[in-house]
């Protein structure tokens, strides 16, 4: 199969993720959409790795997974503590960080 199709898929997934981040309010869903975007990138990396015939892309994909895992830990912790204090998981309710 043409590896370029994987890139199309990655672009599609990224777009879905981005749209989700922009239109959904629920922090968990936004979070999941970010994961989707990250994984879209991973897919693109792996596809490029295949296309160029070296392992750089795959290595970076592993890096991304590790970072994503760490991010999940921190992110979920923030969401949980936010939910505890606000009784809501809406990202729009946490708008105190403005000037």
Partner 1 sequence: MENLIALLVAAPLLGAAVLLCGGRALDRAGHWLGTLLAAASFVVAVVLFADMLGKGAEERTLSQHLFSWLPVEGFQADVAFQLDQLSMTFVLLISGVGTLIHVYSIGYMEHDERRRRFFGYLNLFLAAMLLLVLADNYLLLYVGWEGVGLASYLLIGFWQHKPSAATAAKKAFLVNRVGDMGLSIAIMLMFTTFGTFAFGPVLEATGETSEGKLTAIGLMLLLAACGKSAQVPLQSWLGDAMEGPTPVSALIHAATMVTAGVYLIVRSGAIFNGAPEAQLVVTIVGAVTLLFGAIVGCAKDDIKKALAGSTMSQIGYMILAAGLGPIGYVFAIMHLVTHGFFKAGLFLGAGSVMHGMNDEVDMRKYGGLRKYMPVTFVTFGLGYLAIIGFPGLSGFFSKDKIIEAAFAKGGTEGWILGSVALLGAAITAYYMTRVMLLTFFGEKRWQPDAEGHAPHPHESPKTMTIPMIVLAFGSVFAGGFFGIGDRFLHWLEPVTGHKHGHSPLSAATVTGATVGVLLIGVALAYLQYGRGPVPVTAPRGSLLTRAARRDLLQDDFNHVVLVRGGEHLTRSLVYVDHTLVDGVVNGTAATMGGLSGRLRKLQNGYARSYAVSMFGGAAVLIAATLLMRAV
Residues near partner 1 (CB under 8 A): 18, 21-23, 25, 30, 91-92, 94-99
Nearest residue to 13 via CA among 29, 35, 28: 35
For the CB of residue 91, give the shortest distance to partner 1 in the complex, in Å: 5
Q: Do 22 and 34 touch, CB atoms closer than 8 A?
A: no
For partner 1, which is the closer residue by CB, 69 or 97? 97
Q: How far is the CB of 87 from partner 1 (least distance, A)?
A: 18
**By C-beta, is 32 or 94 nearer to partner 1?**
94
Q: Do 41 and 10 touch, CB atoms closer than 8 A?
A: yes
């Amino acid at each position: 199969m043409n590896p370029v199709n994987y890139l199309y898929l990655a672009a599609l997934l990224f777009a879905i993720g981005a749209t989700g981040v922009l239109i959904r309010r629920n922090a968990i869903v936004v979070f999941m959409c970010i994961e989707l975007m990250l994984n879209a990138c991973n897919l693109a990396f792996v596809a490029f790795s295949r296309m160029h015939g070296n392992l750089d892309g795959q290595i970076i994909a592993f890096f991304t997974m590790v970072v994503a895992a760490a991010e999940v830990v921190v992110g979920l912790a923030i969401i949980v503590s936010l939910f505890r204090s606000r009784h809501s998981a809406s990202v729009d309710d946490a708008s105190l960080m403005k000037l």
